[in-house]
Amino acid sequence: MINPANRTKTIELSLIRKMFEVTNPNAINLGIGEPDFDVPKNIKQAMKNSIDENDTHYTPNKGYIELREEIVKKFKNDNGINTNPDNIIVTAGASEGLFLCAQAFIEKGDEVLLPDPGFLSYEACVKIADGTIVPVDCTMENEFKIKAEDVEEKITDKTKAIVLNSPSNPTGAVMEKEDVKAIADLSMDKNFLIISDEIYEKIIYDKKHYSPAKYSDNVITLNGFSKTYAMTGLRIGYLTANENYIEEMLKIHQYNIACASTTSQRGAYEALIGPQDEVNKMVDEFQRRRDLIVTRLNDMGYETVNAEGAFYVFPKIEDENFVLKAAKEGVITVPGIAFGSNGKNHVRMSYANSYENIEKAMDILEERVVNG
């Protein structure tokens, strides 16, 4: 038996995945981290065409130039970020983007500020890079929004980076403009990197998304097609940063995956140039479900923030056995503690499931779990 490296030994496999393996396949799954919609037809067709046209060879390491040009336009129009095709890397999902940031910039002794609660991969990527995690509290009092003053308090001379994620997994919180701007200013004053994970950018209700890269040069902006276009299995995302940062990340990307899949790149190109009606429909439907699940949970007596984005709610549920009881009754949820110590006494519920299933799930919780 060969010993694994110490840095991997300390990492746990995802609790969420483990939960799915043990629960009844007929249960209503509110544990899901991906849209329950299909990839829009025009995108599917573009991918089919790409295979028929034998577009199955290596592409430039950074990705097809046509795709990078469209990504540049997207950053300008949606985010007010001025970039150029040389400063874009097309990645195998935002997951690869995150890994590239960690590998290129984090090493032993570096402190990395992470939202607590936060997406599980952040912690794992920092640990694989031998960095030290410094949690920043995102409290229910602040509707789980990360606040600039809480970030400032955690900055030391070892602070190398912070991960921002708005809208957030697991809470659905959307950052306020003044916090985005203040943290961007801090990154310039105190010289640290912002890794801005904007994968849920388009899944947002009555609220505007702000990108820190508009206000600071020390930002790597991560995004992708998984959530907006329901393309999770196609593993396609992208990042932008200034040219010095791109060069370092390109080294990892080039020697790791060489380039993102041709089929997925062609689908991504179509996603950006094609109609956006499917995205708008999906977001409207998510909002209808958000309204339903928040109302039902509050009616049950579980304090729940009216999350402004993503497709998660994070109710306060102090019953330690809730997740297990719910699973036994046929509703899968995820314990909040899986996302950090501030997730204690909370449960993550995803509403990437049909309106009818969410209604049924809420009936089950009300009849058999809360009052059972």
Binding residues vs ligand PMP (CB under 6 A): 33, 93-95, 119, 165, 169, 197, 199, 224, 226, 232, 237
Of residues 16 and 184, the one with the C-beta less far from ligand PMP: 16
Min separation Cβ 6 and ligand PMP, Å: 26
Min separation Cβ 299 and ligand PMP, Å: 28
Of residues 99 and 322, the one with the C-beta less far from ligand PMP: 99
Contact 337, 348 (CB under 8 A): no
Element (H, E) at 222: strand 219-224
Min separation Cβ 320 and ligand PMP, Å: 25
Min separation Cβ 257 and ligand PMP, Å: 13
DSSP labels, 61-128: TT--HHHHHHHHHHIIIII-----GGGEEEESHHHHHHHHHHHHH--TT-EEEEEES--HHHHHHHHH
Packing angle between helix 355-364 and helix 277-299, nearest 10 degrees? 10
Contact 164, 115 (CB under 8 A): yes
Min separation Cβ 86 and ligand PMP, Å: 22
Min separation Cβ 38 and ligand PMP, Å: 16
Q: Residue 165 and residue 118: Cα distance in Å, rounded? A: 8
Of residues 226 and 369, the one with the C-beta less far from ligand PMP: 226
Query: How many C-beta atoms lie closer than 10 Å to residue 354's C-beta?
Result: 13
Tokens linked to 118: 């936060």
Q: Shortest CA distance to 329 belongs to which of 27, 29, 20, 15?
A: 27
Q: Residue 5 and residue 128: Cα distance in Å, rounded? A: 10
Q: Which residue is nearest to ligand PMP (CB)?
A: 93
Of residues 297 and 310, the one with the C-beta less far from ligand PMP: 310
Of residues 46 and 199, the one with the C-beta less far from ligand PMP: 199
Min separation Cβ 166 and ligand PMP, Å: 10
Tokens linked to 235: 């593993």
Of residues 115 and 315, the one with the C-beta less far from ligand PMP: 115
Q: Residue 359 and residue 366: Cα distance in Å, rounded? A: 10
| Residue 114 backbone dihedrals phi, psi, to 5 degrees | -125, 140
Q: What is the DSSP letter of 237?
A: E
With tokens 């697991």, the residue in question is 170
Of residues 227 and 289, the one with the C-beta less far from ligand PMP: 227
Tokens linked to 211: 């990108």
Of residues 14 and 42, the one with the C-beta less far from ligand PMP: 14
Min separation Cβ 33 and ligand PMP, Å: 4
Q: Are strands 347-350 and 159-165 parallel, antiparallel or unpaired?
A: unpaired
